[in-house]
Amino acid sequence: MRERYLPLLATVTVFVLVYAVGAVSFKYFLSTHVLGDLLTDNAFIIIAAIGETFVILSGGIDLSVGSMIGFVGVVMAHLDTLGWHPLASGALMIAFGVAFGVFQGLIIDFCEIQPFIITLAGLFLLRGSCFMVSLDSVPINHPFVDVFSDWHFDLGGGGRLSSSAVVMLVVLAAGVVIAHFTRFGTNVYAIGGDRASAGLMGVPIRRTTVGIYALAGFYSALGGVIYALYTASGYPLAGLGDELIAIAAVVLGGTLLTGGVGLVFGTLFGGLIQGLITTLVNFQGTLTSWWATIFVGVLLFVFIVAQRTIMSSFMARRAI
């Protein structure tokens, strides 16, 4: 068993355990219905979290994810009232997301400002822009929205693999390929491992950094498009705090926050675990929704401490 798969193994184990708890406690929990809903309801956040994974792998952080989701939705809803096709407005917003990511990446690299604070400013800018476009929830009435939500694969047993989930799985596969089978992906890991040595080894730091944030912008904007289609509306407060859920998904997915170690594939399970906890709390019925946030907090704590222990034992072995 190679060391890099250990955190992923831990994540999948937790996922299976939580699922098993649900299956034992509740009739119908182990149905394709629940599985399909789990994938659909969490598709947008997992998509955004894939982009966040690249950023965290490179040792950075992107806090503008949640605001991007809200902004994309609001603009798409506004363009819908002007008669735009959701696919056209969606494509425009994805281009915007990439451009915004390039902008953030350039400032981070050129001005040597911490990603944390630049993307914090990005969070403010995008959320503020949401309010400037609209203060109310605006529906998207285009017939394409119905087409999008109706289209699905049957999973058997009544469950559906919706179009949101399919998009998520496709871009997840793309993310895995980018991370593990391209030079860009190798550079991301190299920068996350040790930025200075990577630079000395000839890794193009600026191009890669800009690429990472552009990729994160692409994924969070795509997450916003999926969210807008999924809710058939744009709401200026949509995605509020989702950057934290995305970061938590990455951490629970086994990616080290210090950068350089982790797998894009793990983020899928990191996102699903959080969705599963919410589903469990909903099934339970008497527990209130804030228990879900507490459970996620506790899980985060356990995972981070476990990561710490794995890392220090790894370091100790390497030192000998």
Which one, 92 or 306, has the nearer CB to another protein?
306
Which one, 36 or 60, has the nearer CB to another protein?
60
| Cα(202)–Cα(205) distance, integer angstroms | 8
Question: Which 42-61 positions form the footprint of another protein (CB under 8 A)?
Answer: 61
304 binds another protein (CB under 8 A): yes
Which one, 25 or 114, has the nearer CB to another protein?
114
Q: Fill in the per-residue mask, 238 to 267: x = in contact with another protein (CB under 8 A), - = not in contact.
A: ------x--xx--x-----xx---------
Smallest distance, another protein to C-beta of residue 176, A: 24
Sequence letter at residue 91: A
Sequence-ordered alpha helix ranges (H) in the chain: 6-25, 32-41, 43-57, 65-81, 86-110, 115-133, 143-150, 163-181, 183-193, 195-200, 205-231, 242-252, 264-284, 290-319
- Sign of the dihedral through C-alpha 93, 81, 41, 159: negative
Q: How many CB atoms neighbour CB 207 within 10 A?
A: 13
DSSP string, 101-131: HHHHHHHHHHTT--HHHHHHHHHHHHHHHHH
120 binds another protein (CB under 8 A): yes
128 binds another protein (CB under 8 A): yes
121 binds another protein (CB under 8 A): yes
Which one, 128 or 157, has the nearer CB to another protein?
128
Which one, 143 or 285, has the nearer CB to another protein?
285
Alpha carbon of residue 97 to chain centroid: 14
110 binds another protein (CB under 8 A): yes
- Token pair of 293 as six digits: 């946030």
**Among 232, 273, 259, CA closest to 45:** 273
Confirm if 103 and 214 have CB atoms less than 8 A apart: no
Smallest distance, another protein to C-beta of residue 117, A: 6
114 binds another protein (CB under 8 A): yes
How many residues line the site for another protein (CB under 8 A)?
42
DSSP tag of 187: H
Smallest distance, another protein to C-beta of residue 94, A: 22
Per CB under 8 A, residues contacting another protein are: 61, 107, 110-114, 116-118, 120-125, 127-129, 131-132, 135, 244, 247-248, 251, 257-258, 288, 290-294, 296-298, 300-301, 304-305, 308
